[in-house]
Structure 1
Amino acid sequence: MSEPNASASIEIAAPAERVYDVITDLANLASWNAECLSARWIGPVKEARLGARFVGGNRNGGRRWSTRCTVIAAEPGRAFAYHVRAAGVLDVAIWRFDLTPTADGCRVEQKTWDTRGAFMRVVGAWATNVPDRDTHNAANMRKSLEGLKRVVEAR
């Protein structure tokens, strides 16, 4: 895969398996994610597995929007990734978490690849009030990973 449009990483003092469980717990995703308001599994599969789908509700200031996501990597303790679409059909992005065990816990790296076409770039910038999505995502990733660290290490 090409270089991500944005990425961030953090060290967390917890086993990678426990961090993975928090990342894939959609009911509590909004408790640590900077842009997410809510997330819930849809369809017959209600867990992090290849092909599972979920809806994410997001916000930026007063702007609100939702996306439909399909899990494309689900390796407990190692990786979780999903393909994001608007209206279920228009490409938006791929998001990925990679977990690497360390002596004191694990390193979590979050990455995203912008897969929007020209139309979706214009519509997305207007709908989310984010003209520079790469810079915005990088800042939110740092906030989100700090939130993930707080949640995981408090358990």
Structure 2
Amino acid sequence: MRLLRDPHLEVSLHVDATPQQVWELVSDVTRIGEFSPETFEARWTRGSTGPEVGASFKGHVKRNGVGPTYWSPCQVTKCVPGEVFEFAVGTDSTTVTTWGYEMEPDGRGTRVTEYFTMSPALPFRLYWLVMGPLRGRTNERGMRTTLERMKAVLEK
């Protein structure tokens, strides 16, 4: 049954750039405001200065591009240049969501996949049960927009 599995969405796109070039862009969290329709800025925190497993940053979010803004604490969970950049959103003790980018060679370019996974904890599953259809569509549109904007920069 779909509701019992971890809520997971992903969007993929071909980019005429190398996996390393894509990785350098997606792992530079300070540039997310150029691409995301919801996260309009981000900065490294807790002494972190760049992408590596365990590095901390925070994203300044405006849900659906409207309403109040808030800062989301994040921590890098996977970081392999040219392959994957992933981060958990939440507190030190609770991950709410995990977001990431995977890159794989695709002809003369790269197939880049942005993905989102909701925490398997019961409160988040209940949230997804109620808000999942709407939030899922919004996240999917946002991921597509983010990737298309990154593609435009990478292919200049």
TM range, smaller chain: 0.7 to 0.9
- What are the within-5 Å matches in structure 2 for residues 134-153 of structure 1? 134-153=136-155
After superposition, residues 6-155 of structure 1 pair within 5 angstroms as 6-59=9-62, 60=64, 61-85=66-90, 89-115=93-119, 117=121, 119=123, 132-154=134-156
Q: Once the two structures are superposed, what CA deviation does each residue of 1:48-88 show, in whole Å capped at 9, x if it has no partner?
A: 10100100011121232221111011101000000101x55
Question: 1:130 offset after TM fit, Å?
Answer: 8.8
Aligned residues: 148
The answer to whether the 8 A contact 1:130-1:136 is kept is no
C-alpha contact 1:91 1:116 (8 A) present in aligned 2: no
CA distance in 1, matches of 2:67, 2:12: 28
Per-residue CA distance 1:81-114 (angstroms, 9 max, x = gap): 00101x5544320111100012221000011101
Shift of 1:120: 5.5
Counterpart secondary structure, 2:112: strand
CA distance in 2, matches of 1:58, 1:40: 12
CA distance in structure 1 between the aligned counterparts of 2:50 and 2:100, rounded to whole angstroms: 16
Give CA deviations for 1:10-51 in whole Å, capped at 9, x if unaligned. 000011101111111122111012211111111222111010
Worse overlay, 108-117 or 11-20 = 108-117
Equivalent AA in structure 1 for residue 107 of structure 2? A
| Structure 1 unaligned residues grouped into runs of 5+ | none
Indicate the RMSD between aligned Cα atoms, in angstroms.
2.5
> Counterparts of 1:88 and 1:67 in 2: how far apart (Å)?
12
Contact 1:6 1:135 in 2 (8 A): no
Cα deviation, 1:96-144, whole Å, max 9, x if unaligned, reads 11000122210000111011745457889xxxx9983222111111111
